[in-house]
A and B are shown apart, each in its own frame.
Chain A
Amino acid sequence: MLGYILRRILAVIPVMIIVAVFVFLLLRLTPGDPAAIIAGDMATPAQLERIRTSLGLSEPLHIQFVTWVGLLLQGDLGTSLISNTPVTTMIGQRIWPTINIAVMTILLSVAIAVPMGVLAAWRHRTWADYAVMSFSVLGFSIPVFVIGYIFIQVFSIELRWLPVQGYAAPSDDFGRFLARAILPCLTLATIYVALIARMTRASMLEVLGEDYIRTARAKGVAERIVLFRHALRNAAVPIMTIIGTGFALLIGGVVVTESVFNIPGIGRLTVDAILARDYPVIQAMILLTSGLYVFINLLIDLSYTLFDPRIRY
């Protein structure tokens, strides 16, 4: 097990090297003068020169790469060309809203979706099943921003229960955080509930046809225990995969929701950086998201061993 984790972590290295090379070349291989691309059409020669020195563009390519990786390993992701603050600081400020919203969204989605999926499978082909499936289809098909605006209209403007927009750190004032995070989380959760409920239903349907479910019933075990103790754990692996992938996507940033609710997360940071051609920030975001994906995938794989003793690494 420990050996497996070590091997998996070692296997991350080549992946990250490939990502790093790609990120590095992203700017350098674009046709034309990178400094000119960054600075835009209206730049003065002095501005161009400043950009060239700050990015080390006058050196040969391999020297540039070594310098860049060297700085990267020291945790130096460069400095934003627009705000002139270190990229690490910028990400540090913006990542917490995203992580907090993501964690809450996933917890909320799992708490709603898994019982829904179990119910749908248990009451297969009844109105309960059809209701869950219809909700799923709706959750998939309505665009996120529409759901967001509907929630704002209903809960903030009509009922005046919750603030319209904004964000507060949970460490400062948890009540304020909760009041502002509920609507974006619910908005995001709609699609994840749809996704996870569907996966839970499909996986449970398969498991409920297994012989050991019949054995459990033949023991006189109550249905609740048959469903949650016997079936759900056996159905867990595909559900876990969906939850994990969903979480990774959430961390990667959810631009639309962040814009609708005016949350200072990394989704908007990325979009702003792309629009402003702030290459150091873009590069850092690519590295960060790919690293997170790899890490979360490792966690998903390890979680399988918790559910299924037959899986041993």
Chain B
Amino acid sequence: MLFKTRTFDEAANVLTITDLTVRLAGNPAAKPILDGISLQIREGETVCLVGESGSGKSVTSLAVMGLLPKGALEVAGGRIDLEGRNLLEFSPQAMRDMRASKISMIFQEPMTALNPVMRVGAQIEEVLDTHAKLPAREKKARVLDIMNQVHLPDVERIYRSYPHQLSGGQRQRIMIAMALILEPKLLIADEPTTALDVTTQQQILSLIAELQEKHGTAVLFITHDMGVVAEIADTVHVMQLGKLVEHAPVEELLRRPREDYTRRLLKSVPSLTPRAARPVPEGAPVISVDGLQKIYGSHGVFRKTKETLAASEVSFAIPKGRTLGIVGESGSGKSTVARCVMRLIDPTDGSIRVAEKEIAKLSRRELRPFRRHIQIVFQDPFRSLNPRWTVGRSLIEGPLNLGTDKDAAMARARELMKLVGLPDDAVDRYPHQFSGGQRQRIAIARAIAMEPDVLVADEAVSALDVSVQAQVLELLDELQAKLGIAILFITHDLRVAAQICDEVVVMQHGRVVEHDAAEKVLADPKHPYTRALIEAAPGRAWDFANFRELRTA
């Protein structure tokens, strides 16, 4: 693993944060959100701020931008110096003048960070309109130039496009173009690649590095992904609950973490080394899918729309107690397959056998008694539980539909809470009283309340912090050992797939490109796309949990 080893002792300080404290507005008694943060970023340096959700990473960046939500958070003390001037003393107008000209920011969600009703060219131009008065022709030339610099293809066309006409990677390039057009001193990047596919992530990371090199920009990079940290950081600051716990040059931090919290964080990064294959159990598979196909848009009421092949010729089978992963980037068709298997959408062709029964063509009505055999856990634990229902009510809804007695179902719900590691009185509480990881446990309990043969997990750990992710994966493993369920695990994250899957199916453009035992797919990929995926995984040469290079056996 090659870390960045440049020293910045000679370089000038761009940003110095001293003892920054941020509190809930109007509530001086509450625990501060940021508690005495101090850090500095020098010219050309990339500082990574890492930590789990709620650690205060984003609040730090918004405080620097002067964009803390008004009336909710306020700076209670400290200094933020940019090139020797304290930003906290700036008037609102002076602060507006700094933004995009001296400090720029790019955000996590390229899908929502651009105004959907303005052409992207106009959105970049707005930066120039705000901070520099230029004649129209020169303005457009500058915009096209920065669009070329961020390597957008066909810039004249994209200049006139609306955000929804561009891919996620292209939109993030537009954001970067917007942020860097005035060559600011400091670029704050708040999880800029988290919502992107690995291959796109790799391109965006190298683009940021390239432009940073070219313009000498200092970068404050916020991320929760240790792989990304290993790839791009010069210096790393670790945050926990509003405090900085440790900072060090990247290699130092990954090799010799001093603090317990840092060690724990690194230890929970899932390894890319696949789990040892478990013996194949006897007996027929509990779910088998054969030649599954889903085509969208073949029927319009007034006109024929263009057909989209979302999934084609997908076949696999999972025996009792085993886990099969479907891996692929967005648009690969992996979620389409999960939804077809669940019959949440109807496949256009192919067969799905669950519990020895062909369900692909059953009507909604005929399907009802078979729903219990196959259950799903969704990605977002914050939106997949009804916020106005108690956890217990969500848990017993399925069993009640199947005719279980209410008291018996409730008693079982309490047992399930204990099974997934929550107190049994959790059934009387509401979803908002739980953390993300706890809610995902509830979602899993809800699924297994039906005693299914197959559990579909659609990106079920993707929204969780790594330490929580590790716990949920462990829970799934335990439940599988206890109950013998087969798991269909949909993920874009190769590290997660390596941790939990016996077999892996790799999908691209709706087709299966590779299907084999997890260890074979991950250690010896045959298809170029699989290889590209693995190569794009950031920090793949580093064994985070053991603080050393990855040793190939």
Contacts and interface: CB of A to CB of B under 8 A. Distances in A.
B237 interface: no
B105 A218 contact: yes
B115 A215 contact: yes
18 contacts: A125-B71, A212-B112, A212-B113, A212-B114, A212-B115, A214-B67, A215-B114, A215-B175, A218-B100, A218-B107, A219-B100, A219-B130, A220-B99, A221-B130, A234-B117, A308-B116, A308-B117, A309-B117
Interface size class of A (residues with CB under 8 A): 20 to 34
Contacts of A211: 107, 109, 112-113
* 7 pairs of A and B residues whose beta carbons are closest in the complex: A220-B99, A211-B112, A212-B115, A220-B96, A211-B113, A218-B105, A309-B162
A219 B99 contact: yes
A217 interface: yes
Contacts of A7: 302
B164 interface: yes
B531 interface: no
A29 interface: no
B25 to A, nearest CB: 12
A307 B117 contact: yes
B115 A219 contact: no
A11 to B, nearest CB: 10
Contacts of B105: 218
B508 interface: no
Contacts of B530: none
B535 interface: no
A308 B164 CA distance: 11
A37 B302 CA distance: 46
Nearest to A209: B69
Given A233-B117, A308-B116, A308-B117, A218 B99 contact: yes
Contacts of B98: 220
Interface string B357-370: 00000000000000
A126 to B, nearest CB: 9
Interface of A: 7, 125, 210-212, 214-222, 225, 229-230, 233-234, 307-310
A218 B131 CA distance: 12
Nearest to A215: B113
Contacts of A222: 96, 130
A295 B117 CA distance: 26
Contacts of B126: 216, 219, 221, 225
Contact of A310 (B97, B114, B162): B162
Contacts of B101: 220
Interface of B: 65, 67, 71, 96-101, 104-105, 107, 109, 112-118, 126-127, 130-131, 162, 164, 175, 178, 302
A219 B178 contact: yes
Contacts of A212: 112-116
A310 B126 CA distance: 21
Nearest to A309: B162
Contacts of A221: 96, 126, 130
B116 A310 contact: yes
Contacts of A310: 116-117, 162, 164
A304 to B, nearest CB: 11
Given A220-B100, A309-B162, A310-B116, A215 B302 contact: no
A230 B115 contact: yes
Contacts of A218: 65, 67, 99-100, 104-105, 107
Nearest to A233: B117
B97 A220 contact: yes
A195 B186 CA distance: 45
A225 B126 CA distance: 10
Contacts of A220: 96-101, 127, 130-131
Given A125-B71, A220-B101, A310-B117, 5 more contacts: A211-B109, A215-B107, A219-B178, A220-B127, A307-B117
A309 B67 CA distance: 29
A8 to B, nearest CB: 11
A210 B118 CA distance: 15
Contacts of A225: 126
Nearest to A210: B112
B269 to A, nearest CB: 28
A233 B126 CA distance: 16
B540 to A, nearest CB: 30
Contacts of A308: 116-117
B104 A216 contact: no
A170 B157 CA distance: 49
B107 A214 contact: yes
A217 B99 contact: yes
Contacts of A309: 116-117, 162, 164
Nearest to B301: A7
Nearest to A308: B117
Contacts of B115: 212, 215-216, 230, 234
Contact of A234 (B113, B116, B164): B116
